[in-house]
Structure 1
Amino acid sequence: MTDASPAAQLATGNALELEGVTRAFGALRAIDDVSFAVAAGERRAVIGANGAGKTTLFNVITGDFPATAGRVRFFGEDVTAVPAYDRIRMGLRRTYQSSLLFRDLSVWDNLFLAVRGVARGRFAFRRPRGSHPSRAATEDLLERVRLQAVAQRPVSSLSHGQQRQLEIGMALAGAPRLILFDEPAAGLSPAERRELVALLSALPTHMGFILIEHDLDIALRVVQQVTVMHNGRVLKHGTPQQIESDAEVAAIYMGGGRH
């Protein structure tokens, strides 16, 4: 990629651009010279065997880990040195492999806190009245992730699949521009996986996402493009159909068959 002004980057229509991104831990390069772009509204999967560098890549994109080298651009703006909380305010969201929910609070309260966390005046302690936009936004998220029936239940009483749905709902707070989903199907039952596919497929078309997922039956059904990583580097890109039929991907990632 060539260097360009923010205006020129915006003109490309890309939500995310990675240019030579590297993250080293001592002598170990967890990701090495990773470059690719994700268009605004695009849905992409990042796949690879354990240790391929997928989660480290997410951590660098979100600012949880600083890049050792390279650049990260978000909607044309260089965010390589921008703190994680500012990237959130710019519209970047993510979920994590390990749950970060408030288990003793209700589903509704978790979503409400997520809404308030990305809103102006988020440090106000007074609980808004029924007509407040934050309450309306919470109800909208409840409906979007199909958790109205358990709204007042504590998170600790939910099934694993319902907790994953809640995490997605919290990531949707504040109209994000790009969401990173880190293995959302991990530990889900077949029925919960079908619900996850329906939920991801129903997201607004302008809302792009990048998905790390070991279950290819899910990953390849809900995305338009796939990036395959191997040993911290990008092995190849392609459509779900191209990746599914690629012999090299089958040999390196799937061992000849799906995981």
Structure 2
Amino acid sequence: MAAVTILETKGLSRHFGGLKAVQNVDFEIRQGEIRALIGPNGAGKTTFVSLLSGRIPVSSGTISFMGSDITAKPAFRRVREGIAYTFQITSIYPNLSVYENAALAAQSALQRHRGFLSRIDRKALDADALAALERVGLIERREVIAGNLSYGHQRLLEVAMGLALKPKLLILDEPTQGLSDGEIENFCGLVKEIAKTATVLLIEHNMPVVMQLADRITVLNHGEILTSGTPEEIRADRTVQEAYLGGG
């Protein structure tokens, strides 16, 4: 059975004045895969995923999700349709507790499935929020004010919020930044588990993490796709080595 394409872009571009941050990108990701997006600083990775999530508008090109054109849809509509994006810079609510952060995301997911005018089931909300915190290892810190967490734990809370949204596509932007070696190891196990129920797009500088997790890797350079392939193919690609892996 052929794999289903969950998200596809055609000719996707974003220009900031004369800067071509993303230029004519054709990209697709298949349902259930872990796809890594790598490239040197300034390659356009965060701009690209910001276009996918609706945080910034496209200059030209199209984006389709689950077979529907979402190019003009705002970010909140894309969240409702199943795209969750954890930012490179943490986007938690620092004055709320860890639990309250997860509960807000869980509430959004319940409203999406049951309708925004429906009454929220408190037990379901509580179960979903706590389950997300359990998955990332923050259940014991659920009463802590989020702004008092370490940076690494704030990143994990952001992942929990993404999970509480019950996404079809989870975009993780530099998720291991600020994590200890032990936390990174646990995170890799978490991503493999997430991929059983959701598609994952991973933007990551930690190459051992990328090579361990990714089914396929796409390399972005100067706003354009340089190449895509399996971890083995990317590791052996001389062009990639010169542009990125070799420090060029």
TM-score normalised by structure 1 residue count: 0.88
Identify the match of residue 178 of structure 1 among 169, 193, 213.
169
* Cross-structure match for 1:239: 230
The CA deviation at 1:206 is 3.2
Change (3 A) 1:235 1:127: closer
Identify the match of residue 69 of structure 1 among 25, 50, 60.
60
SS at match of 2:62: strand
Task: Work out whether 1:85 is the aligned partner of 2:76.
Answer: yes
SS at match of 2:167: coil
- Whole-angstrom CA distance in 2 between matches of 1:248 and 1:118: 42
5+ residue gaps in structure 2? Answer: none
* Cross-structure match for 1:19: 10
Task: Work out whether 1:31 is the aligned partner of 2:16.
Answer: no
Deviation string for 1:93-124 (max 9, x for gaps)? 00001111112221111100111133326689
Amino acid in the other structure paired with 1:28: L
Change (3 A) 1:123 1:189: farther
Aligned CA-pair RMSD? 2.0
SS at match of 2:20: strand
The CA deviation at 1:127 is 8.8
Conservation of the 8 A alpha-carbon contact between 1:48 and 1:54: yes
Task: Work out whether 1:56 is the aligned partner of 2:47.
Answer: yes
Query: Matched residues, percent identical?
Result: 38
- Whole-angstrom CA distance in 2 between matches of 1:149 and 1:123: 33
Conservation of the 8 A alpha-carbon contact between 1:40 and 1:206: no
The CA deviation at 1:40 is 0.9
More helix by share: 2
- Whole-angstrom CA distance in 1 between matches of 2:125 and 2:150: 26
The CA deviation at 1:168 is 0.5
- Whole-angstrom CA distance in 2 between matches of 1:147 and 1:247: 41
- Whole-angstrom CA distance in 1 between matches of 2:39 and 2:99: 35
Conservation of the 8 A alpha-carbon contact between 1:47 and 1:227: yes
5+ residue gaps in structure 1? Answer: 1-10
The CA deviation at 1:145 is 1.4
